[in-house]
Each structure stands twice: as C-alpha cells, then as structure tokens.
Amino acid sequence: MDKVLISQVGFSTMHKVVTVDMEKDILSANRKLADQNQALLDEHGIRAFDFLGAIGSGKTLIIERLIDKLKGDGKRCAAIAGDVAGDDDYRRFSAHGVAAENISTGKECHLDAHMVDHALERLPLDDLDYVFVENVGNLVCPVDFPLGSHKRVVVISVTEGDDMVRKHPAIFAFSDVVVINKVDLADAMEVDPDSLATDARRTNPNAKVVIMNARQGKGIDDLAEALGL
C-alpha cells in the first residue's frame, strides 16, 4: 500500500515545489508475486524448490539426480531452467522425461517471480507433485528476488574455494538448505568441506547443511531428507 501525503510547500509564481511522501517498496512487488506463485502451487498440492548457486557448482546435476530418485518413487516432477542464454539445462531436464520450461533471462542476472509465474502457466500443474526451479548462476542478485518456492537451496562446491560462505553471506542467510558439492575433489583443491559447513551453520543456524558428490550420487538421500522428500 502506498501512502502519499504532501508535507512541504514552497511557492513560485506559477509553480510550487512539493515534497510528496511515499512509502513504495520496490522489492515488495516481487514478493507479492512470489506469494501468489506459492498460493498457486499450494492449490495444486505441489511443493517447489529453487536452486541457487555459483556457475558450475552442480545445480543442474543435483536436480537431475533428484528427478531420477523421485521418478523411481512414482512422483511427478517438472523443472524450470533459468539461464542468461541457451537451453542446455532445459534439454538436460527434458531428457529425463519430465515437463520442463526454459527461461532465458537475456540480460537479467536473476530470475524473478514474474518470469516464474509465466513458466508455471505453461506447466501441467494438475499432474505434478514437485517443481524444481534452477536460478541463474549467481550468488548475489537472486537474494533480493524470492520466487515463491517452498524451500531455497544454495549450492556451492569445494572447487570455488574455502571462503565462499564468508564472501556471500546473504544468500546463505536467506536459504533453507546449503549443499557443499564435489567433496570428492576436496583434497585436490586443498579445501576442507567442514570449514565451509561451519561458516554456513554460523551464517544461518536454521539451514540444513548437506555434503554431496552429485556426480557419484553421494548425498542425494541426505538432500532429499533435508527437503522433506
């Protein structure tokens, strides 16, 4: 709701200068749309998860692994792939035989609730149990734009270094699950996954931390449990 009142008046002959008091929260428009997205998902009994994380941290592969696991349990999944350009992730999801939507943001560095709303419109919501949303690879901008999912997962990998949490605290503070991926490469990278986990727990004591090696499928069950699947 925007509150408007005129508080200060200065005069000239034909014109006057006024200060118009506003209370317009620019980011709240996205939050409202996000709430609408969640209401739409709830109406259809769908649980949605969005995946955030750096470029190359393993977001797509982790979602693919979850899709395979859930399909094996007889659940119906869909995925929304957000990228600046191309449809590589969309094609990877489609190859698993699930409904998928592609969002090419063009120049935007993040998905917003409006783009996800349109993608949801194109998905067969009546026939789904779970929707996975993969955001654009970016640890900064998506923080300010919730999408309406039920849980937010942030994925980092040991190949990005041992200071990722301390460098990007906000995205960890605003996520429900933190995945530390590619731990099979920890020795080669000389990065201790435990120190990443400690930083993550301190930044967000509410978050569940999951240690993974998605390539070999390790930790998928822990992630599924953290997501309540």
Q: If binding means CB under 8 A, how many residues of this protein chain bind another protein?
A: 43
27 binds another protein (CB under 8 A): yes
Which residue in the set 170, 185, 189, 197 belongs to the binding site for another protein (CB under 8 A)?
Answer: 170
Question: Which of the 8 DSSP states describes residue 97?
Answer: T
Q: How many CB atoms lie within 10 A of CB 108?
A: 16
Angle CA 205–211–212, to nearest 5: 145
* In the complex, minimum distance from the CB of residue 108 to another protein, in angstroms, rounded to a whole number: 6
Compare residues 30 and 57 and give the one whose CB is closer to another protein: 30
24 binds another protein (CB under 8 A): yes
13 binds another protein (CB under 8 A): yes
* In the complex, minimum distance from the CB of residue 89 to another protein, in angstroms, rounded to a whole number: 20
11 binds another protein (CB under 8 A): yes
How far is it, in rounded angstroms, from Cα 34 to Cα 148? 4
How far is it, in rounded angstroms, from Cα 6 to Cα 106? 40
How far is it, in rounded angstroms, from Cα 150 to Cα 35? 10
Which residue in the set 29, 55, 95, 188 belongs to the binding site for another protein (CB under 8 A)?
Answer: 29
- Binding mask of the shown chain, residues 123 to 142, with x at each position contacting another protein by CB under 8 A: ---------------x-xx-
Phi then psi for residue 122, to 5 deg, are -90, -5
User: What number of CA atoms fall less than 13 Å from residue 75's CA on the CB side?
Assistant: 17
Residue list 75-134, contact with another protein (CB under 8 A): 108-110
Which residue in the set 1, 20, 43, 106 belongs to the binding site for another protein (CB under 8 A)?
Answer: 20
Which residue in the set 44, 69, 76, 166 belongs to the binding site for another protein (CB under 8 A)?
Answer: 166
How far is it, in rounded angstroms, from Cα 101 to Cα 90? 6
Q: Are 81 and 87 in contact (CB under 8 A)?
A: yes
Q: Name the one residue in this structure whose structure tokens are 């699930």.
A: 98
How far is it, in rounded angstroms, from Cα 64 to Cα 42? 23
- Binding mask of the shown chain, residues 173 to 212, with x at each position contacting another protein by CB under 8 A: xx---------------------------xxxxx------
What residue ranges bind another protein (CB under 8 A)? 4, 7, 11-29, 108-110, 138, 140-141, 143-145, 163, 166-167, 169-170, 172-174, 202-206
